[in-house]
Amino acid sequence: MVRAILEGRKTQTRRIMKPQPPELSDGWSWLVDAADGGDFPIVAENEVPADMPHHSGGLQQELWARVSCPLGVPGDRLWVRETWWRGGGPVAGGPSKNPNDGKVPSIFMPKWKSRITLEIVRVRLERLQDITEGDAVAEGCDINDPHITDMYPLAWFHDLWETINGKGSWDANPFVWALDFKRLL
């Protein structure tokens, strides 16, 4: 997805909310009251049938919690980690004989080596499967990508999500932080 950021095709990212809100009993569901900035009320509401009378102290109760996105708020900056090469980089014709040279996974990239800086433009909290076709394109899953063919954006995003987060992670439909960003560097 680094290539998609560099080409301007990726302007959104999603990360699983940790911890997830607790499971609710039947008839209750979590709703998100999205707001600008970094605080989001999550409200649990009981789905009371329309013909059920509402009265003080009745079945319709609310539980809520306010959560902040740990990734930041609009205006904050993020740096992108990517796989990098220690030493002279890859050598044509085979691996380097220098033990200090070699491919280093992105998780070990120090901030000072980052070549891409992003600015958060918008933060939302939503269920993973609430992603739209347009959001999938903004995630870099664009059918016009010359590197991928024969895949619709939502199907591509679904497959990408499970590749990164494990089999069954799509079906779990977790709450995710959805961030819109713009590239600064």
Q: pTM, whole model, 2 decimals?
A: 0.77
Residue 98 has what pLDDT?
57
Residue 118 has what pLDDT?
97
Q: Which residue has the tokens 């509402």?
A: 54
CA distances from 47 to 32, 58, 60 (A): 15, 12, 8
pLDDT, one tens digit per residue, over 71-92 is: 999 999 999 999 888 875 555 5
Burial readout 121-138 (b: 16 or more C-beta within 10 A, e: otherwise): eebbbbebeebeeebbbb
Domains by residue range for the chain, with CATH: 2-46+60-80+115-183 (3.10.400), 83-112 (no CATH)
Tell me if residue 35 falls in helix, strand or coil: coil
pLDDT, one tens digit per residue, over 39-57 is: 677 777 665 545 544 444 4
